[in-house]
Amino acid sequence: MSSVKSFEAQPGDERLTAAIVSDSLDSLGYRNQVLEARLTALVVGDTILGRASTVQFAPTFADDSEDPYRDAIAYIDELAANDIAVIATDGNNSSGYWGELFSAAAKGRGAAGVITDGNVRDSAKIRMLSFPTFSGGHRPIDFRARMAIVGMHERVRIAGVDVENRDLVIADDDGVVVIPQVIEAETLEAARRRAGTESSVLIDLLGGASLRTVWDKYRVL
């Protein structure tokens, strides 16, 4: 795996949103970092911010009867604190790719959540675990002998956006945004600054200031 250090949130990072990060990337010239598909959170209001741990699935008919989940076990057992499992399937609807026990194992390792353009299963049980999960849909079918892991910790393409292993990712009800490592520091600085400014904008607007006055003062809306 990459030597990129794990992500540790700073005080105030709870104010960061997908919209704020997207706007910050726009301001830096990175205008295509939001997943095209709207992946849905199992729990409305959940937010994930962490580093991508990427894995790619592809169709298969093979079945290893002795150790059918070998690669998935190896992948999940390598997750670390604040990692996000980013599961690319090319939107394949053949099966579910993530469920209750994978969620429990990932949460036990300190992972921040999971994002997939495929399906999840055991949805009610994942909610009970309070493990943030964003997916393209739901299907109860096991991926065994239908889909197989063909790559781990490599670049994947998910919903129109390339994700490098260890890229920073934020997801909330508005969508999923990928921050390339090459622009990470500048993006976080801009996003944190914008979050602070938006707090002031909100106060002024609720106090009766006009949008024109607020825009002219802060240049943020």
Task: Give the model confidence (pLDDT) of 84-98 as tens digits.
Answer: 999 999 999 999 999
Does residue 202 sit in the same domain as residue 111?
no
Number of structural domains, the chain?
A: 2
Does residue 191 sit in the same domain as residue 143?
no
pLDDT along the chain (221 residues), means of 10: 72 92 97 95 97 97 91 97 97 97 98 98 98 98 96 97 98 97 97 94 95 94 87
Q: Is 3 inside a domain boundary?
A: no
Does residue 53 sit in the same domain as residue 75?
yes
Does residue 151 sit in the same domain as residue 221?
no
Does residue 115 sit in the same domain as residue 75?
yes
Does residue 175 sit in the same domain as residue 200?
no
| Strand, coil or helix: 204 | helix
Does residue 64 sit in the same domain as residue 172?
yes
> Could you tell me if 102 and 72 are in contact, meaning their C-beta atoms sit under 8 angstroms apart?
yes
Q: Is 8 inside a domain boundary?
A: no
C-alpha span between 14 and 116 (Å, rounded)? 23
At 67 the pLDDT is 94
Quote the domain boundaries for residue 59.
Answer: 34-179
Does residue 171 sit in the same domain as residue 217?
no
Residue corresponding to tokens 């849905």: 40
C-alpha span between 158 and 151 (Å, rounded)? 14
C-alpha span between 171 and 50 (Å, rounded)? 9
Residue 146 tokens, joined: 């239908």
Report how far Cα 96 is from the mean position of its chain's Cα atoms: 18
Does residue 135 sit in the same domain as residue 50?
yes
Helices 18-27, 184-206: crossing angle, 10 deg rounding: 120
At 3 the pLDDT is 66
- Residue ranges in 151-183 assigned as alpha helix (H): none
Does residue 105 sit in the same domain as residue 174?
yes
> Could you tell me if 50 and 112 are in contact, meaning their C-beta atoms sit under 8 angstroms apart?
yes
For the whole model, what pTM was predicted? 0.93
Does residue 221 sit in the same domain as residue 123?
no
